Structure 1
Amino acid sequence: MGANETNGQLKGRVLLTGGSGFIASHILDELLNAGFYVVTTTRSEEKGRRIVESIGSSRLSYIVIHDIAENGVFDSHFKSEAPFDYVVHTAMPYHLNVKDPIKDFLDPGIKGTTGLLKSIKENAPTVKRVVITSSSAAIVNPLNHAKLYDETHWSPFKWEDAMDPARSYATSKALSEKAAWAFMENEKPNFDLAAINNTYTFGPIQRTLPSLEAMNTSNHRIRDLILGRMKEELKPTAPIFTFVDVRDVALAHVRALTQPQAGGNRFYLVSEHFSNKRLAEIIRKSFPSLADRLPSTNVPDDLPDDVYQFDTSKSRELLGLEYTPLEKSVVDTVQSILDSGLVE
């Protein structure tokens, strides 16, 4: 019996897209711990085998989806697999090396999301709920921050904004989520929808990470601090000053699947504010052996006094979330990087 096996009745079958991703790897753990059977999608046989072998659960299998934006790419799988009860859609690239905004972000985001919803409606009548991983990028307006953000806010970016590589990701997340809600409104499928809008996400790295360069983008700043890449100059924290732990994000996805009242809702997930200076000081305190790789203690803290605030009452009340504090998240992230054997 694998590490994540539980005895008892199966909670249902879940399709999890993008299973090799950072957030998806933690969602996978939560789903298995909660007693679900999970079929995850990967872009290659090799990635699929690596996930299954690393977990060793009889309640996990994979299917290969090479291009999530391809029309009808899920249809045959919904027809040939045993019926699904739920779908969690995390498959969405996030990187800073933008070459073609449409191919890199807009197509996988919008076509990938709406194509999946269409396929579920037409081929998977047993699915009760779909949870999509959106982003705080679909909520915040970095050009003119609200004083207090909640789920009623939307980022202002439109298609043409995505042509600026600095805005491609944020725009694709906003447009993908809007497309999902529009699909629900226009198509009125048998299932309902929930969206998870997590902010910068720190937390322990996934178990199958091939290299530190393949790490999720939010964790790069923690990686760069412990590798000494900010020793001479601490990079600015802006534009985002809020974080959430990946384990809270994973738990939110699983609870959003099963809580009846979660359907039809967005959930803005934030634990607290942070700055790169605060990350460095937590690492200095908890890992004294890394102190010589960190910037000087005299570097000023760039967290603004008038930084925007956030209202996470919906996620606390409907999903029962209790957020992991910054210090624990950073310490556990650093420890997981050191334990990976990928650091000199």
Structure 2
Amino acid sequence: MESSGKGKTVLVTGGSGFVAAHILNSFLSRGYNVKTTVRSDSSAEKIKKSHAKYLSQISFAIVPDVATPGGHDEAVKGVDGVIHTASPFQMKVENNERDLLDPAIKGTMSVLTSIQNHAPNVKRVIITSSFASIIDMNKNPRPGYTYTENDWNPVTYEEAASSSASGEIAYLASKTLAERAAWDFVAKNKPNFQLATICPPMVYGPAFHTISSLEHLNTSSADIYRLMNGSEKAVPKTQYYAFCDVRDVGEAHVRAYETHESAGQRYFCTAGGYTYQQVCDIIREDFPEKKALVPEGEAGDPVDRYKVDNSKIKKELGMTFKDLKTCIDDQVREFIEIEKRAKA
């Protein structure tokens, strides 16, 4: 792997996101210049605030709508590589096609087409995909099975676009179909760049982007905060039995970018399995001042469920992963600090 990105410029799409902020940090801390797309000047200002010590290395491109054909033409010019992370992560939407499927699939196609047409120097593209593109929810919790990068979610566009499909199914499909479209694009067009994809499951841990309010957290942060703010009276049923610390997801992207052997590979970026019960147990034990607000549930783990295999990303990218306790403790500490500031 290269030791420094000094003098190199990468484009990170959607830089104001929870995961993207850590991807930015992973590249900036290695000396890369980072151009990032944002929807507005206000988003750019937030990134400047959260990454203040790297201001000389950051530049911005305004892309109001990620799915617009040609919308990334200017953004990709003059960069050496592209990290495409901009894609909606939400489960409650009004229209599956408009709010989830189109932005994910068309956004990916827009970025790749712009690179092919306007960025001849780009040799490596990393796409933030998801465990959503691996898991088959029709078989959940699938006891005795182990998921790897070889698995693909079998969901179809027609299933996800149906008016009867849930937002959750549409989200899973959006990530699956966007990643498939990317691989198809490379196979069909044989562009000047090589592709790798990173597939994280539920992503937790402390934010690097600026959190202005605990009322408006990103989806995965809100998923943890609800377990400690008194809003959940019982331990929720775990939907996806795999997690990764957001800091490790950021690290995985830069390692995939710098590792020549990652070309043409997809990586399941996970620390291992988890349940909401385990999260609640950690918060109750490590933060006694929050104990009364955290649902107690039942000790142990009664659900026989699938396992996950992260051996490929550990072997090929040299990844090590933070455990659940470290991840949750650091995230909860951050929430408590924000609560204190809000009261001050």
Q: Is the 8 A contact 1:284 1:294 kept in 2?
A: yes
1:274-293 maps to which residues of 2 (within 5 A)?
A: 274-293=274-293
After superposition, give the CA deviation of every residue in 1:199-252 in whole Å (9 maximum; x if it has no partner): 00111023312222332222323201111112x222211x21111100111000
Q: Is the 8 A contact 2:49 2:210 kept in 1?
A: no
1:72-221 maps to which residues of 2 (within 5 A)?
A: 72-79=70-77, 83-145=78-140, 147-163=145-161, 164=165, 165-221=167-223
Equivalent position of 1:265 in the other structure: 265
Equivalent position of 2:225 in the other structure: 223
Distance in 2 (alpha carbons) for counterparts of 1:123 and 1:91: 19
TM-score by length of 2: 0.92
Letter in 1 for 2:293: R
Equivalent position of 1:246 in the other structure: 246
Distance in 2 (alpha carbons) for counterparts of 1:301 and 1:156: 34
1:10-89 maps to which residues of 2 (within 5 A)?
A: 10-56=6-52, 57=54, 58-79=56-77, 83-89=78-84
Instruction: Find the residue that maps to 1:273 and give its secondary structure.
Output: coil
| Change over 3 Å in CA distance of 1:102–1:310 after alignment to 2 | same
| Change over 3 Å in CA distance of 1:304–1:181 after alignment to 2 | farther
Distance in 1 (alpha carbons) for counterparts of 2:302 and 2:260: 39
Equivalent position of 2:235 in the other structure: 234
Query: Per-residue deviation at 1:53?
Result: 3.2
User: C-alpha root-mean-square deviation of aligned residues, in Å?
Assistant: 1.8
Distance in 2 (alpha carbons) for counterparts of 1:59 and 1:139: 35
Letter in 1 for 2:76: F
After superposition, give the CA deviation of every residue in 1:43-102 in whole Å (9 maximum; x if it has no partner): 1011112211332221011111000101101113334xxx21110010001112211111
Distance in 2 (alpha carbons) for counterparts of 1:333 and 1:11: 33
Q: Percent identity?
A: 37
After superposition, give the CA deviation of every residue in 1:238-291 in whole Å (9 maximum; x if it has no partner): x21111100111000000101000110000011122111111110111111111
Q: Which moved more, 1:306-315 or 1:175-184?
A: 306-315
From 313, 316, 319, the equivalent of 2:317 is 319
Instruction: Find the residue that maps to 1:132 and give its secondary structure.
Output: strand
Distance in 1 (alpha carbons) for counterparts of 2:139 and 2:313: 25
TM-score by length of 1: 0.92
Query: Per-residue deviation at 1:183?
Result: 0.2
| Change over 3 Å in CA distance of 1:128–1:219 after alignment to 2 | same
Letter in 1 for 2:93: V
Q: Is the 8 A contact 2:18 2:208 kept in 1?
A: yes
| Change over 3 Å in CA distance of 1:71–1:9 after alignment to 2 | closer
Query: Per-residue deviation at 1:300?
Result: 2.3
| Change over 3 Å in CA distance of 1:139–1:301 after alignment to 2 | farther
Distance in 1 (alpha carbons) for counterparts of 2:293 and 2:249: 30
Q: Which moved more, 1:199-208 or 1:63-72?
A: 199-208
| Change over 3 Å in CA distance of 1:301–1:321 after alignment to 2 | same
Distance in 1 (alpha carbons) for counterparts of 2:5 and 2:316: 25
Distance in 1 (alpha carbons) for counterparts of 2:226 and 2:83: 31
Instruction: Find the residue that maps to 2:313 and give its secondary structure.
Output: helix
How many pairs align? 331
Instruction: Find the residue that maps to 1:74 and give its secondary structure.
Output: coil
Distance in 1 (alpha carbons) for counterparts of 2:94 and 2:300: 31
Distance in 2 (alpha carbons) for counterparts of 1:100 and 1:176: 17
Query: Per-residue deviation at 1:9?
Result: 6.9
| Change over 3 Å in CA distance of 1:272–1:343 after alignment to 2 | farther
| Change over 3 Å in CA distance of 1:269–1:172 after alignment to 2 | same
Q: Is the 8 A contact 1:20 1:47 kept in 2?
A: yes
Query: Which blocks of at least 5 consecutive residues in structure 1 are unaligned?
Result: 1-7
Q: Is the 8 A contact 1:42 1:65 kept in 2?
A: yes
